[in-house]
Amino acid sequence: MTTIRKCFRTYLLAMLIGVAVSFVGLASSQTPSSGTPNFHARYVEGRTQAEADAKAGVYVIKSWGLPEFKIGGACDYPSQLEIKKRILTEKYKIKFESVGGCVISDSDSEFVRGYDETVEKAINAKYGEDVFEKAEADASKEFDDKYRDKERECKDWLEGIRKLPTKKP
């Protein structure tokens, strides 16, 4: 089996495990126990922090999850999401911060939810309700103009790899 196929299988397995763990976490967060932290307090803490940051002119979108997977080779080009983030950073000075990997605590999740809801309202108030849609449209146009052909090359390259003969043990 080729190294790329092994990596791809490992990547798919990691994604499936992440999804399964997320569902388990979601199910367990629906039934708080007596030792459950005060999630509302963390949500309010996130809102308060975002309000202070926005007053200081600092706009940060927080997120968590599996980072984008880069293959390289013919597939070495930015994703539409990366372009959108770059546009939002360059045009509007919006920063992006990852607060964790695939799994974070329910408490941290509530903090991020409170923070992001508040900061997105502040961004919309400052730059207009359609700021994210404009960035998405600009990113889509840039991707189509500069990288759509590379995406086709990548798909062809990956299809060629899939067709390679595999050694059977």
Residue 51 has pLDDT above 90, yes or no: yes
Angle at 82 between CA 129 and CA 52, to 5 degrees: 50
**Residue 155, both tokens:** 């798909």
Q: Is pLDDT larger for residue 108 or for residue 74?
A: 108
The single residue listed with the structure tokens 């979601």 is 26
**Residue 38, both tokens:** 């005060």
Q: Quickly count: other Cβ atoms within 10 Å of residue 23's Cβ.
A: 10
Question: What pLDDT is attached to residue 121?
Answer: 97
At 29, the pLDDT band (50, 70, 90 cuts) reads very low
How far out from the chain centre does Cα 18 lie? Answer: 14
> What proportion of the chain, given as a percentage, has pLDDT over 90?
53
